Structure 1
């Protein structure tokens, strides 16, 4: 599975399977993606191989957030994968994948803080906060 940013400066491939995926409706993810929610997949920490442009990846870490960070291409601003050493995982924004992921989102999380104007229409499990 491969992916890239919008301007194609950053490209990567997954070297390990995605083990979990969800749609996150928290306000941080909504703002980071400028969308109703963020669809993310998760793989092992070493599950990403950069094909090009890793030097163009910028990481924004919210000082007050334990787990939230946003990796993006410094040229076009597109979200790209990031390592999360604290949890031992890599986070893959599904929107940057070139093809449909092998594992679709399995749940909606942080639905208690979802956008008021958005109606969740899928039949995935919903969790008010993080999944248990």
Structure 2
């Protein structure tokens, strides 16, 4: 079984990720761009494969009726996103310790992307409507 580690910038919030990971996506919606400062790239991890340490520094922000976002209350790092009742938590790719061995598989919500950049990496794009 593959094990990876993730952490916020200051290290107050840490995570151990166990298992194979798939569906690695970069989200271009306006909420994710505001949350991350640009594009939110993450991978879903089943809740039984995610162990979080430092939860006393982890804060959750209910960003919609469907989801919440987790961040470190010390350094402000955007670390997690999860839809209510889905049974998995998305972990920010930038928080996973290298080498990740992961590769971006798709771009989502590209119809809502910022007007200041183009997506030209050849990775499939969803949400162009």
For this structure pair, what is the TM-score category when the shorter chain's length is used for normalisation? 0.7 to 0.9
8 Å CA contact 2:67, 2:83 repeated in 1: no
In structure 2, the partner of 1:122 is 121
Q: How does 1:42-81 map to 2 (within 5 A)?
A: 42-50=44-52, 52-62=53-63, 65-81=64-80
TM-score, length of structure 2 as denominator length: 0.88
The one-character-per-residue Cα deviations of 1:55-89 (angstroms, maximum 9, x if unpaired) are: 21000012xx2433210001111012355451121
Aligned residues: 126
CA RMSD of aligned residues (A): 1.8
- Tell me which residue corresponds to 1:22: 25
Unaligned residue ranges in structure 1 (runs of 5+): none
Paired with 1:54 and 1:34, the residues of 2 have a C-alpha distance of 23
| Higher strand proportion (structure 1 or 2) | 2
Distance 2:45 2:112 in 1: 25
